[in-house]
Structure 1
Amino acid sequence: MSFHIHSIVSGRKSLWVEWIRSYRLKERSFWDIPDPRNACWSWRKLLQIRPLVRKFFWSKIGNGQNTSLWYDMWCEDCPLSRYVSPRHISREGLSIYSRVADVVVDNNWQWPEAWRDLFPILFQLNPVQIHSNKTDTIAWKDSDGKLVPFSTKLAWDAIRRREQKVLWDKAVWTSCWIPRHAFHLWLVFREKLWTQDRIRNVQIISNGSMNMMCCMLCFNNLESHSHLYFECEYSAKVWNSLKVRAELDDVSGRWEDVAEWMNVNAKLKSVKAVIGKLLVAAITYFLWQERNSRLHNNQPRPPEKLVEIISETIRLKLHSFKYKRTDSACQILREWKITSMEVFLAS
């Protein structure tokens, strides 16, 4: 949407921009045009985000012929429409269509004398340099206050919501992941899965329900993120059966310890590190799948079956990688029943 606004205000050569300028703006400034309720949805949405992006679109003065005197951003005190009303504008022979060049003579401002006491800020503006051989251009004002060419990357970086950087981003988003496992792992790290403790809290707030709930895997404790990964008796069996094959014997079943191991090894690309990270993502994914299968379809599977499914998933994923032929790599790959020489890089 910011790109479309840039196209309009910069006068990009396209049929759509020409149509907008002829039938929507009709020589008025994009920043001044009212928001009509009978217009199409897309046009109204462009107009509605103007307060969000207006301060970033700046006009670099050339000849001053294409920059709105009242509505464009071309100095720190703009837009000048904040100070001067349309009634005062028309009373002094100017109009809402006036350009910067209309009030500049020999690079000096020529404001109506009657405005000296009414709008003293106009007489305090720094002089602008008018270059008759240059055209006005639209630039983007970045976070450093510099006027740079517009790009959607800059627009996104300027208006996006920012939060504190997390420690686990490299542990979740990496090229070796199975995509659906990575997305699920992202939810696990953020504790956004709809476990039963969260569901119960919502029900208490909405209708006061205090229905008893229990873990669908072990039928003992209340289901929560920490219980599901991997304090639950069922989850612990799956975790303990598989972590040995990934040489993660020293990592306990507490999610805090597993997450810490993931963060420490997030950037490592050794065979052991990759398998360990793939395993954590796969286990969390299939445990949640098993939980949902029991909750919605009443189709339980023993932990041994889940171990078998996860093992085969990891083994198939490992076949897609290439490894350096080392003794440690050969040993851990044999543990996952991978003996083909095709997985090793040529010497």
Structure 2
Amino acid sequence: MSWSWRNLIRLRPYFRIHFCSKVGNGANTFMWYDDWHSLGALSYVLSPREIASAGFRISDKVKDVISDISWFWPAEWLLIIPQLNDYQLPKLDPLVADKVLWRERNGQKVEFDIQHVWKDLSNYDQKVPWVHIVWFKQCIPRLSFILWLAIQERLTTQDRMRFWDKNKNLKCSLCNIQPDSHSHLFFECNYSSLVWKVVKDKVGIKSNSHGWKELIEELQVLFKGKSIQIFIMKIAFAAAVYFIWRERNCRLFRKGKTDEMKIALNIFEEIRLKLIGLKGEFLGFDNDVKTKWGVPVGKKNHDFFNDQRN
């Protein structure tokens, strides 16, 4: 078996406890291996040898064991497991099929549904107040992912690398003055602060915060709304974090350098391309905004792409 299939099989014990059966006609529910009894799957309390010794078959279905609206447990089973007699006999209905149910983590049984199962198995924490800054309609995933890590301070900046090598002198590759931390890199560094200032002036972000955490708190309020201007500011902020982080890595590992204005122009081009391919309408996405960002005016976006191909 393949590695993937073997690992899927290993998940069976985890998921098995969530599946149970509601007996209808008893034709599709295994007597010993399906979870339809209050004790759970009877194979957990009865061995195959005990089942066979009592005259039953391993492959029996519920309808095969219930006869004349009754059943009779072997006396030796009742001595070992007296709870077997406590369960009320299910009434078989030949017109109703057996149904597979999903047992939630709180014990409630519901009809099996993929969406419901996913929600039940997933762990949902309380929404963070900055979620709308990072994840929003028509965001750019690669930008949002880096921003998501940055806000949580999970990027591998050199202040975190000190734990691995305390004797190494690690300085910011952008300014070469002090170690790059999240607060330094966004946007206390001379290099990144200039990029951020140019971007802010272009897109109209009015922020006076001097620290990374303070900036995030300020943008939580500033970035509320569904207008095209708010959308552009969100893309600009995510792009600024992304391109500064990429430039930092490029200088560390590739020994290449890009000046501040070129980084700013890359950010503006990212915004322009996103606006050209924008699906749906945002409040205020008029010809003035399109002209400012170099978006074709007077034709639909898909017509523009067709013209470019031709």
TM superposition score normalised by structure 2 = 0.82
Q: Equivalent residues in 2 for 1:142-153 (5 A)?
A: 142=104, 145-151=108-114, 153=115
Change (3 A) 1:77 1:197: same
**Cα offsets for 1:90-128 (capped at 9, x unmatched):** 232223323323442344342112222211110111221
2:92 to 126, 130, 134: 130
Counterpart of 2:250 in structure 1 is 293
- 1:45 paired residue number: 7
Q: In the alignment, which of 66, 77, 94 is matched to residue 104 of structure 1?
A: 66
CA displacement, residues 27-63 of structure 1 (integer Å, 9 cap, x when unaligned): xxxxxxxxxxxx5545533431111111222222122
Cα distance in 2 for partners of 1:50, 1:325 equals 52
SS of corresponding position for 2:192: helix
User: What is the RMSD computed on CA atoms of the aligned residues?
Assistant: 2.9
What does residue 4 of structure 1 align with? none
Determine if contact 1:319/1:343 at 8 Å carries over to the other structure. Answer: no
Cα distance in structure 1, aligned partners of 2:212 and 2:69:
68
Q: Are positions 1:95 and 2:57 aligned together?
A: yes
Q: 1:166 aligns with which of 115, 125, 128?
A: 128
1:178 aligned residue (106, 124, 140):
140
| Aligned mates of 2:121, 2:295 — CA distance in 1 | 51
**Cα pair 2:21 2:99 within 8 Å, conserved:** yes
Please say if residues 246 and 332 of structure 1, whose CA atoms lie closer than 8 Å, have aligned partners that are also in contact. Answer: no
Task: Tell me which of 289, 298, 302 is aligned to 1:342.
Answer: 298
Equivalent in the alignment of 1:200 = 162
Distance 1:324 1:86, change over 3 A: closer
Corresponding residue for residue 304 of structure 1: 261
Counterpart mapping for 1:1-347 below 5 A: 39-41=1-3, 43-142=5-104, 145-151=108-114, 153-201=115-163, 203-204=164-165, 209-321=166-278, 336=292, 341-342=297-298
Cα distance in structure 1, aligned partners of 2:90 and 2:120: 27
Which deviates more, 99-108 or 60-69?
99-108
Conserved in 1, the CA contact under 8 Å of 2:134 and 2:148?
yes
Sort the Cα spacing of 1:339 and 1:80 in 2 relative to 1 into closer, same or farther, 3 A: closer
Query: What is the total number of aligned residue pairs between the two structures?
Result: 297
Question: Which is further off, 172-181 or 289-298?
Answer: 172-181
What one-letter code is carried by the residue in structure 2 that aligns with 1:155? V
Question: Alpha-carbon deviations, 1:230-287, whole Å to 9, x = none?
Answer: 1112111111222122222334242223322443355512233122111111100110
Q: Could you state the TM-score of these two structures normalised by the residue count of structure 1?
A: 0.74
Q: Match for 1:112: what amino acid?
A: P
Structure 2: where are the runs of 5+ without partners?
301-310
SS of corresponding position for 1:269: coil
Deviations 1:194-238 (CA, angstroms, capped at 9, x unpaired): 21122232x24xxxx531101111111111111111111211111
Q: Percent identity at matched positions?
A: 35
